A and B are shown apart, each in its own frame.
Chain A
Amino acid sequence: MYVAIHYGREPSVINVKKLKKRFGPITAVDGVSFSAAKGDVLGFIGPNGAGKTTTMRMIACLTRPDEGTAEINGFDILNDSLKVRRSIGYLPENTPLYGEMTTLSFLRFIVDIRGIGGGDKEREIERVIDICSLGEVVHQSIETLSKGYRKRVGLAQTLIGDPAVLILDEPTDGLDPNQKRDIRSLIMNMAQNKSIIVSTHILEELEAICNRAIVINRGRIVADATPEEFRKEGGGRIDEFFETVTRGSE
C-alpha cells in the first residue's frame, strides 16, 4: 500500500476504524481505516465494485458493518446513528429525489426533517438556494429539471443544517463538462469548514478538488496520499499510478 500522509493539523472529524462488510461469500469492504479533518476533501477512487459506495453507506448509517466502526464528529455510527446522521449530508449515487416535489417544497421538507424551525427555516433555505444557484428553478418540479440542476438540488439537500461532514457519491457522474466544473467549484467553496468525502471515477477530478486521495480496490485501501504524490509516483501520469496500484493488487 502506498501511504504518504502529511495531515494532522486539525482534529479528525471522520475516524473510520477497520470497517468490514460481507455480502454472502463476497467481502465488499475489508478492513478500511482512515481519518479526515476539517478542511479535507478526501477523494475515494477505485474500479467499479471496489467497495467505495459500501464504505460510504456504512459511514452514513445506511448499512451496518459486520466488523469495525466509525466515528463522525465524535459520534459512533453503531450507537449514535441519529446524531451521526445529524452531522452528515449524504448525496447518494444517481441523486434520488422526490420528483413530484418542487425544488422549494423539497428543501422545505429537508429543513423540517432536520428540525430547523422559526425564522431560521426560510433563512436556511435561502442560504442553500444561493450557494447552489437554484434561484431560477425553485418553483419547478424536480422531475422536470436537467441532470445538472438535479445534482445541485441533491447537493443543496446535503447542505441544509450545515453538517460538519459531506459524503458525496459520484457527484459529477453523468454531467456535461460545464456542469462538472460548476459542481466541482461548489464543492471547493464548501471545503473550508467541512470534511468532505467524494467518490469518483475521474482521475482529473482528484487533482481538481481533493487534497487527499484514497484508492480502494477489492475492498481494501491500496494507496492513501495527495494527488500530486500520485502523479509523482506515476512518473508524471496519475493514470499510470492508478493502474499500477489497482492492477498490482489483483
Chain B
Amino acid sequence: MRTSLVIMKRELQGYFSTPLAYVFLFVFLFFANFLTFRSPFFEARQADLRIFFDVLPVLFIFLVPAIGMRLWAEERKSGTIEMLFSLPVRVGEAVLGKFLAAWIFIGASLLLTFPMIVTVNYLGSPDNGVIAAGYLGAFFLSGCYLAVSLFCSSISSSQVVSFILSVMVCTVFVFADYPSVLVVLQKFASPGMIEAVENMSFVVHFESIRRGVIEFTDITFYVIFIAGWISAACVVLHGRREA
C-alpha cells in the first residue's frame, strides 16, 4: 500500500506539472456548466441539480477516458514502464496507485463544480442531502469509467487506441438500459437476460443514488465493477511481463 501511495503522489504531481490537468479542468467545468445552464434550468424553477446529474454520464464518456487513456499507454510508449517494473514494485500496487491518483483528480474536478451548489442554494432551498448523495454517486460513476479506461490503456501502447476503446466500452455501459437497446434485446433474449443487461448500466445504479437513496446494491455494483476492471488490467500487465 505504501508503494501505491508513492506512485499515486507522483502521478498527481504529474497531472499538475503538465497542461493536462488544467485543460481537463477547463473543458470539464465549461461543459458541465454550459450543458447544465443551457437546459431549461431556470425555467424549471426547481432548486436542485437534477440537470447537472443528467448531463454527467454522457460528459464522462468523453472526459474520463481522456484522463485514463494515458495511464499505461504513455508508460509503455515512453518505455518508463521498464524502469518502473525494474524497481521493487508489484503490478497491483502500481495499477492501484495510478487508478487512485486519477480518481482523486476527477473527484477534485467534481468538487470544483461547487458554484452550482452555491447557485441553487442562493436561488432556493434545495435538499443538500440529495445533492451530496448525487455527488457521491457521480464519484463512483466516474470510477467505473476510469476503471474501464485504465484497462483499455493497459492493452495498448497507443493513447488514441486506448481512448477510442474506452469511449466505446463506456458507451455500451451507459446506454445498456436505454429503451432502444432493450427493444432490440427483446427480440431474442430471455427476460432474465434483459434485466441483467439493464442492470449492467452505470446509469441505472446512478439513478437512485442521485435521488438521495444510497442503496447497498448500487454501491456494491460500483465497487465490484471497479475492482473487476482494475484486476483485469493487472492480469494484462502481469501477462506482458510473463510473456
Contacts and interface: CB of A to CB of B under 8 A. Distances in A.
A90 B87 CA distance: 8
A98 B88 contact: no
A105 interface: yes
A137 to B, nearest CB: 16
Contacts of B78: 96, 99
Q: How many interface residues does chain A have, given as a range? A: 20 to 34
B3 interface: yes
Interface stretch (B9-17, B30-38, B51-59, B167-175): B9-17
A62 B88 contact: no
B153 to A, nearest CB: 17
B6 A96 contact: no
A85 B86 contact: yes
A85 B88 contact: yes
Interface of A: 57, 60-64, 82-83, 85-86, 88, 90, 92-94, 96-101, 105, 109-110, 112-115, 141, 154, 157
Contacts of B13: 101, 105
Nearest to A85: B88
Contacts of B82: 57, 62, 90, 92, 96
B10 A109 contact: yes
B223 interface: no
17 contacts: A61-B241, A62-B86, A62-B241, A63-B242, A64-B243, A88-B86, A90-B83, A96-B81, A97-B80, A98-B10, A99-B78, A101-B14, A109-B6, A112-B6, A113-B7, A113-B89, A141-B17
A180 B155 CA distance: 37
B190 interface: no
Nearest to A169: B82
B18 interface: yes
Nearest to B93: A113
B83 A114 contact: no
